Amino acid sequence: MEFKRIGVLGAGNIGVGVVTDLVLHGLCTVVVDVSDEILASAQAAVLNNVRCVPLLSKTLPRITRDEALRRMVLTTRLQDIESCDFVIENVTEDWKVKQPLYEAMDRVARPEVCFGANTSCISITQIAGATRRSAQVIGIHLMNPVHLKPTVEVIRGFHTSQQTLDTLLQLFSVLRKEAIVVDDSPGFVSNRISHLFMNEAAFVLQDDVATAAQIDQVFKQCFGHKMGPLETADLIGLDTVVRSLDVLYESFHDPKYRCCPLLRKLVHAGHLGRKTGKGFHAYPDE
């Protein structure tokens, strides 16, 4: 199948990375979000990513600002995805937001088009149930920053067909991404485990056992991780981490997923991590 145009729903933290990756690899995008302001700031972030590619990657294609601009249509109208050959959804991690959107996408997109659900924890089978094309819905848990991460966790929902998986793998071959295909379960592999790390790190900080810098240092210097759990939470966005923990808690009814009060307090205070310049750590230059 030839991918002429990809719909990207949600141009936030991860949506910006998705659009960056698509335009870098020559694909045209229709980017949908709820306001022109959000779309304008997403476009600026994509252009900045494209500009920084030579500094950050030896292998990613280099494209000009004009090429990037030509490959992005920005819109607040969901109907504009009707021309798309594949849709990647990255809206807020909230079932109350995703459910009505999937119902609407199902009405607008051509019947043969597949939907890639980029969620941190919500069940792909549940998402697929909001459409009449459940065999064509597949989970794609892209990592942040999307254009710099070569591997994706792919999730087969209960009804996801082999044809849908093959279509997605074809798209990933254009993006030069490798897929690790797993079964559907809340949080999949990555977030079911990593959110326990991040949440417990917040409890350790709350209990005054160590500073945020020390907690991250232990993971980086003793375990050899590239980033510590609190830095990772800041990169994901603390609001998204809290929502994901809430989904895990509701899904498993297991107290090990109860969200640390300090984490929730930072979200209420507007300290969402890198995207607001402050979370567990401060990011004055971003």
Ligand X SMILES: NC(=O)c1ccc[n+]([C@@H]2O[C@H](COP(=O)([O-])OP(=O)(O)OC[C@H]3O[C@@H](n4cnc5c(N)ncnc54)[C@H](O)[C@@H]3O)[C@@H](O)[C@H]2O)c1
Q: Could you say whether residue 141 binds ligand X (CB under 6 A)?
A: yes
Q: Dihedral, CA atoms, 249, 253, 255, 260, nearest 10 degrees?
A: 20
Q: Could you tell me the two tokens for 33? A: 């979000």
Single out the segment in contact with ligand X by CB under 6 A; choices: 127-135, 140-148, 163-171, 259-267: 140-148
Residue with tokens 């992005």: 72
Q: Is 141 a catalytic residue?
A: yes
Q: Give how far the C-alpha of residue 121 lies from the chain's centroid of Cα atoms, to the nearest Å.
A: 11
What does the DSSP assignment read for 36-90? HHHHHHHHHHHHHHHHHHHHH-SSSPP--HHHHHHTEEEES-GGGGGG-SEEEE-
Q: Could you say whether residue 20 binds ligand X (CB under 6 A)?
A: no
Identify which of residues 131 and 240 has a Cβ nearer to ligand X in the complex. 240
Per CB under 6 A, which of residues 143..162 are in contact with ligand X? Answer: 144
Rounded to a whole number of angstroms, the minimum distance from the CB of residue 275 to ligand X is 6
Identify which of residues 83 and 92 has a Cβ nearer to ligand X in the complex. 92
Q: Given candidates 19, 31, 60, 91, which one binds ligand X under the rule CB under 6 A?
A: 91
Single out the segment in contact with ligand X by CB under 6 A; choices: 33-41, 66-74, 130-138, 278-286: 33-41
Q: How far apart are CA 152 and CA 145, in angstroms?
A: 12
Identify which of residues 9 and 204 has a Cβ nearer to ligand X in the complex. 9
Q: How far apart are CA 273 and CA 232, in angstroms?
A: 9
DSSP 8-class letter at 257: G
Three-state secondary structure call for residue 166: helix
Q: Could you say whether residue 10 binds ligand X (CB under 6 A)?
A: yes
Q: Could you say whether residue 238 binds ligand X (CB under 6 A)?
A: no
Q: Given candidates 29, 43, 119, 125, which one binds ligand X under the rule CB under 6 A?
A: 119
State the catalytic residue, choosing from 141, 147, 195, 271.
Answer: 141
Number of residues that bind ligand X (CB under 6 A): 26
CA atoms within 13 A on the CB side of 179: 21
Q: Given candidates 120, 131, 134, 194, which one binds ligand X under the rule CB under 6 A?
A: 120
Q: Could you say whether residue 34 binds ligand X (CB under 6 A)?
A: yes
C-alpha closest to that of 241 among 176, 182, 197, 184? 197
Q: Could you say whether residue 85 binds ligand X (CB under 6 A)?
A: no
Q: Could you tell me the two tokens for 173? A: 């071959």
Q: Could you say whether residue 190 binds ligand X (CB under 6 A)?
A: no
Identify which of residues 80 and 214 has a Cβ nearer to ligand X in the complex. 80
Identify which of residues 120 and 136 has a Cβ nearer to ligand X in the complex. 120
Q: What are the residue numbers of the active site? A: 141
